Structure 1
């Protein structure tokens, strides 16, 4: 199930962690502009 979701949305892990209230201590440089 996770594999299909990652194929559909490669940023799923970042979106899910934000939705669950977990703040990532490090965001890759290419994702900084899209950080919620």
Structure 2
């Protein structure tokens, strides 16, 4: 999975605010994979 231009900036900002990143990237399933 490709990371966009803002990925690292946003991640660093969240960590700086005290967030704990547990999954990077976080998988999100959507739609019907049978038709992919």
Same fold (TM over 0.5): no
Q: Which has the larger radius of gyration?
A: 2
| Larger relative contact order, structure 1 or 2 (CA cutoff 8 Å, min sep 6) | 2
TM-score, normalised relative to structure 2? 0.39
Considering fraction of residues, name the structure with more helix: 1
